[in-house]
């Protein structure tokens, strides 16, 4: 699938879902290259996982002020995930994880906000120096919660 095809198909799905603050290319920047790997589009069935994550990210956007939530990495196919050094069973491969930054907040503050979400027990949260990892593993029948990274 080309980048244009992905933008059209996923864009329509996001619009039908009522998503206003996240785009197809934030979910998957089709064609992005790293270490010889070229990122391909996720199977459309994985968009159900993305919708669950979008709902959490929309909550994060409004919690503690309406600052933008920027996505560094969302979906990764097997080859791209391996090329960037992702873990073998990465939640990114399910379209249910994103590495994010909330403008005006440190990654630790973002993780603390997410800990206050009503469904935090269903999340995987990783605290990193420059971003926060959030996944909705418990919402897609994976073992949860999970926490790792800097204190």
Name which of 9-13, 54-58, 60-64, 129-133 the model is least confident about. 60-64
Tens of pLDDT, residues 86-127:
999 999 999 999 999 999 999 999 999 999 999 999 999 999
Domain count, the chain: 1
Residue 10 has pLDDT above 80, yes or no: yes
Q: Which residue range is the domain that position 97 belongs to?
A: 3-149
Give the pLDDT mean for 52-68. Answer: 90
> What pLDDT, on the 0 to 100 scale, is given for residue 38?
96
18: domain CATH number is: 3.30.1380.10
From the list 36, 56, 44, the residue with the least C-alpha distance to 138 is 56
Exposure string for 112-141, b = 16+ CB within 10 A, e = fewer? ebbeebebbebbbbbbeeebbbbbbbbbbe
- Is the overall model pTM greater than 0.75, yes or no? yes
């Amino acid at each position: 699938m080309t980048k244009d095809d992905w933008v059209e198909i996923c864009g329509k799905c996001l619009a039908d879902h009522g998503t206003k603050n996240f785009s197809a290319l934030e979910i998957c920047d089709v064609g992005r290259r790293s270490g010889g790997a070229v990122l391909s589009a996720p199977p459309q069935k994985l968009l159900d996982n993305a919708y669950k994550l979008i709902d959490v990210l929309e909550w994060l956007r409004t919690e503690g002020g309406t600052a933008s939530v920027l996505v560094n990495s969302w979906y990764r196919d097997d080859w791209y995930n391996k090329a960037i050094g992702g873990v073998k069973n990465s939640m990114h491969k399910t379209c249910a994880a994103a590495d994010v930054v909330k403008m005006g907040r440190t990654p630790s503050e973002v993780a603390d906000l997410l800990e206050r979400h009503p469904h935090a027990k269903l999340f995987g949260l990783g605290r990193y120096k420059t971003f926060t990892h959030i996944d909705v593993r418990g919402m897609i029948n994976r073992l949860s919660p999970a926490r790792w990274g800097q204190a």
